[in-house]
Amino acid sequence: MDVVTKNLVATFKVEELLPDDIAEDVIFEHFANYCVVSQNYGEEFDVDDIHTGGGNDLGLDGIAILVNGNLVSDVSEVDDLANLNKFLDVEFVFNQAKSSGNFDGASISSLFFGLKDLFSEKPKLPRNDNLQDANSTIDKIYAKSALFKKGNPKVKIYYVTTGKWENDSKLNSRIDIEVEGLMALNIFESVNFYPVDARTIQNLYKRAKNKLSKSVLFSEKLTLPALEGIDESYLGYLSADEYIKLITDDAGTIVRGLFYDNVRDFQGENPVNHEIDETLQSDGRNLFVLLNNGITIVADSLKKTGDTFTIEDYQIVNGCQTSHVLYNNKDKLTAGVKIPVKLIVSQNSEVKNKIIKATNRQTPVKTEELTALTDFQKTLEDYYEAIQGDERLYYERRSQQFRATAGIEKIKIVSVSNQIRSFASMFLGLPHQASRYYGTLLKDIEKSIFVNGQPPAAYYASAFALYRIEALVRRKQVDRKYRPFRYHLIAAFRMIVMGTKMDAMNSNKFERACKPLIDAISDDKKSLAVFEDAIGILDGLLVGDYSRDKAKDANLYASFEKLIAAR
């Protein structure tokens, strides 16, 4: 391995908090998985969720399953997205990583052989637990093939080495034959193979660490006069293809994190979205610019070269529904389709909140909900920022907010989706639902989360506890078999420290009770002891069955609560 790649892998190991005694080839597998998946998925993700390397791995070191732009790791997410969107747009990303320096034809053929067995109706090769979980998700997807409205799933296969790709004609012919063999299964829209050598993997890693930045041609615009708290602002319209550039990553996948500041997640085929969809598919699609209220974009910075605007660190604060419908129809958009756009450049958080509230009042959302999802989020972000030292976590309210920040352990980055899951598990008694698509979970609990009067300390405590159990697993202080139950363990942690009865979450008593909870999580020895206590209870409840399905058992939390209350 060359010195540049070696140093990048070493940096990656620290940021991912991988254990000191982990084998070098396994580190490289995680590194390669991170690099290739990051090119196809623009949000933060846990490398453990996609790693499949080890015994009985079919020659696969990583599998990423993307459904409607979301990285899914559980069959329940497939159900949620199917119910919400009424369609499935699927992409499979497979990776094999070799720290050796050559592209071996036999290994590549072995990789394809494993893939054929993975999708076989009568598989013959044994699979490890991670592959079995991925297989369950794949089976669920194909069971809903009637929802493949955009075609069958697409396949991307990466083969990563630390050598140099020589574009050998014989090897290319071999690969072409293998690709044709997969296509002959008649279950894929396309199959693409990507050889990744040392120089390519270095570039992929560096690209993955860059902040979100997009350049578009914004020629039809009006520059607004100077406004207090606003650096620059424009009204105008973008051609549909230029707007699609703004909301997709390099792989053409929609960037979900751009819509974190929206009041509502994508609502699927509701009446309004269906009407937008019909307009874009009709001969009158060029009237879209007159029929749509438009998109509001708020960016931290902007660089201009003529009419080319490079927008950095931005959010779509209004227009989530329109953006998703446009993305779903991107292949049908013509040059005549124009998108009304309001572009605002500001680093003033108060001004941003005012803009979000004002633009979202056009939708049927209550004022108190707007306040919760704007002011509360900013208060939460400020709370996280105020905590320094080893206890610092990073609340990522904007897409890729901390991706370019060096030296941060990635599991210390708290995405909005992980905040929702951890809070719902620790304080709302829903750890069995944590594996669901976060948008569906939020919809079910929207009156109980991000509510004014709830202390930010509770949100921080739940995310801190999740970080702590993840770190204990990575450091091998807690067995990896307990990882599927991490949300139950943080719920049990709260009950052991605070008791099973909680005061109202908007009360001073509850806020005061969060302090000893945070203190317990902060203390290395005490937190390990509490988690070991919770694990002891879990062992008694599971009776040796640590399968992922057990983590979805609604009775498991109730059993925890009953046993802890009785002590």
pLDDT tens readout for residues 9-39 = 999 999 888 888 888 999 999 999 999 998 8
The tokens for 213 are 């930045």
Helix boundaries (H) for 50-128: 75-85, 105-118
Cβ contact 36:160 at 8 Å: yes
* 175 phi, psi to nearest 5 deg: -65, -40
Whether residue 244 is found in the same domain as residue 259: yes
Whether residue 197 is found in the same domain as residue 228: no
Q: CA 47 to CA 89: how far, in whole Å?
A: 23
Place of tokens 């990051």: 38
Mean of pLDDT over the chain: 87
Q: CA 292 to CA 220: how far, in whole Å?
A: 17
Instruction: Using alpha carbons, list the distances in angstroms from residue 238 to 134, 152, 232, 295, 305.
Output: 40, 31, 17, 10, 16
Whether residue 352 is found in the same domain as residue 476: no
Split into its structural domains, the chain has a count of 3
Q: What is the pTM of this model?
A: 0.79
Confidence at residue 363, expressed as pLDDT on a 0 to 100 scale: 46
Using one digit for the tens of pLDDT, what is the confidence trace for 290-305? 887 788 888 888 999 9
Confidence at residue 176, expressed as pLDDT on a 0 to 100 scale: 94
Using one digit for the tens of pLDDT, what is the confidence trace for 439-471? 888 888 988 998 888 999 999 999 999 999 999
Q: Residue 96 contacts by C-beta under 8 Å, 6 or more apart in sequence?
A: 59, 60, 61, 107, 111, 158, 159, 160
Percent of the chain whose predicted confidence (pLDDT) is above 90: 52
Q: What angle do CA 430, 374, 77 make, to 5 degrees?
A: 35
Whether residue 396 is found in the same domain as residue 347: no
**Boundary residue ending a domain (208, 227, 252):** 208
State the sign of the Cα–Cα–Cα–Cα dihedral 263, 267, 270, 274.
positive
Q: Residue 181 contacts by C-beta under 8 Å, 6 or more apart in sequence?
A: 112, 116
Whether residue 402 is found in the same domain as residue 481: yes
Using one digit for the tens of pLDDT, what is the confidence trace for 373-392? 567 888 888 899 999 888 99
Using one digit for the tens of pLDDT, what is the confidence trace for 338-374? 889 999 998 776 777 677 766 665 444 444 444 445 6
Whether residue 358 is found in the same domain as residue 378: no
* 249 phi, psi to nearest 5 deg: -90, -175
Using one digit for the tens of pLDDT, what is the confidence trace for 228-243? 888 999 999 999 889 9
Question: Which amino acid is located at 330 in the chain?
Answer: K
Sheet holding 308-318, edge to edge: 213-217, 308-318, 295-305, 338-345, 232-239, 220-223
Half-sphere exposure at residue 203, Cβ-oriented, CA atoms within 13 angstroms: 5
Using one digit for the tens of pLDDT, what is the confidence trace for 485-527? 999 999 999 999 999 999 999 999 999 999 999 999 999 999 9
| Complete DSSP assignment for 397-430 | -STTTTTT-TT--GGGEEEHHHHHHHHHHHHSS-
Q: What is the mean pLDDT of residues 424-437?
A: 93
Cβ contact 434:487 at 8 Å: yes
Confidence at residue 99, expressed as pLDDT on a 0 to 100 scale: 82
Whether residue 97 is found in the same domain as residue 238: no
Residue 318 lies in domain: 213-364
